[in-house]
Structure 1
């Protein structure tokens, strides 16, 4: 483990959002030597170490190791994980922060995490509750759906010209990871964000017809949106060779989108950025 006498600890630093967060923090003047990047991707950690960052490969289920690492930093950026036991891991980080009297914890939650109609946000909601009850100064950033989530979905329309989804007439105020990472970096590097919760949405409620139109531009061929039922989508996914468990998960995501969880929740994101949020076409071609 390579840990500087640092101030900022970033959990989830080797993930897709974490990469942008580190870049955004450095762009706003934080020296890599004062940042410790935590993640599981050893290759990426090596690259970060070569770039001057402190690095740590810590199993977040190891509460003792987490506590030791947290205690050496004043500011904690907790990018929400994806493990099945992520809630326990989040709570371990928060407990360590409380015991170490850290200065500030920044948590990337999910938009509408306080709405118990959406099961997708249950872990976010419980993490927020643990954080607000801890007594540690916090900032909660409730991130919307990523535009980049649709990049993988380009594969089908590339060959069929059809974007099929069980989302009905839903709208999605998606935002790019870069925008969300920049907002986090702004909050970390400026004052006035203590014990504040931000709902971070894109400026526009995109329909799936809008998404298909953006895909048309990116793919340079006409793409149309074809709404299907959840059952039809599950059958199509399984017939394509996908296992039933993954197919069921993807169908449940579409049903959650159809229920409106990712519709626009306000202007916090563009207000923090001081500019409009990134559009679909630019987001679908992002690296």
Structure 2
């Protein structure tokens, strides 16, 4: 039984590869670089832009873990369509899709919503992992360098904006559980509950680092400038747009009735536990 993992050399896919490999599963890492080396996995070169590549990678798979990369929405729509074409053609036994926090409400539109709806119509066993915001975002240089140098945690949300934060490690735990628990379908929410605010994050960092840390709201425009050198202009614009949309929301809390805690018995790490797990 082979599990096919997208983004296996990146932040989201690598923990899934590690968790499956540790559980003794056979893993195929899907990458764009055929010469990549992924511990615990066989590497297959396949591009999101090629439905044929994806079909070949998915065929006979016991499970496929997929997420859409951060790029232009136009490209993400193409990738979603190609993934769906491959799933329909190859018929893997199970697909687990992480939204990476993108909206999947059909009314909102977008590539993630298209992919979620298409999986629901595919007839293939599937589940959709729905995180809110990733704790790994706080490791971006503009955040973590400020925490270390100034004792200030800057982030583009209001101080009173509650979020059910989760980590890529949590997503991996949930993905592995969902490959085993094929009775659980539909949307599985992943994140801390109750949700926490920016000052709560700063307090957790301060406790871990043994110093005072305060939270500082910044604007989506300031975020865009900070991440453009890392992500590129198009991707930075997409991310900043998501935070601009969030600025009108009351918060980003998971619904406990669809949570991994309730459906799978998988508890999301606290911020302090995550900081300890990554050795910060």
2:15 aligned to which of 2, 17, 20: 20
How is 1:222-237 mapped onto 2 (pairs within 5 angstroms)?
222-228=212-218, 230=219, 234=221
Q: Which has the higher contact order (CA 8 A, sep 6+)?
A: 1
**Residue equivalent to 2:69:** 81
Residue 134 of structure 1, aligned match among 122, 127, 145 = 122
From 74, 91, 98, give the equivalent of 1:101. Answer: 91
2:265 matched to 1:274?
yes
Task: Determine the C-alpha separation between the residues in 2 that align with 1:100 and 1:241.
Answer: 37
Structure 2 contact 34–43 (Cα < 8 Å) conserved: no
Residues 73-113 of structure 1 show CA distances to partners (whole Å, capped at 9, x for unaligned) of 34322133223312322321221221223322211124573
1:151 matches 2:144 = no
Displacement of 1:187 in angstroms is 0.9
Pair member with larger Rg = 1
Distance in 2 of aligned mates of 1:36 and 1:179 = 21
Residue pair 2:80, 2:111 contacting (<8 A) in 1 also: no
C-alpha distance in 2 between matches for 1:109 and 1:17? 11
Contact 1:202 1:269 in 2 (8 A): no
CA contact (8 A) 1:140 1:198 kept: yes
Structure 1's unaligned 5+ residue stretches are 1-5
Partner of residue 166, structure 2: 175
Cα pair distance change 1:190/1:134, threshold 3 Å: closer
Equivalence map 1:254-265=2 (5 Å): 254-258=243-247, 259-260=249-250, 262-265=252-255
Contact 1:14 1:41 (8 Å CA) reproduced: no
1:192-211 aligned at under 5 Å gives the runs 192-193=183-184, 195-211=185-201
> Could you tell me how far 1:257 is from its partner in structure 2?
4.1
Using the size of structure 1 for normalisation, the TM-score is 0.79
Q: How many residues align?
A: 268
Gap runs ≥5 in structure 2: none
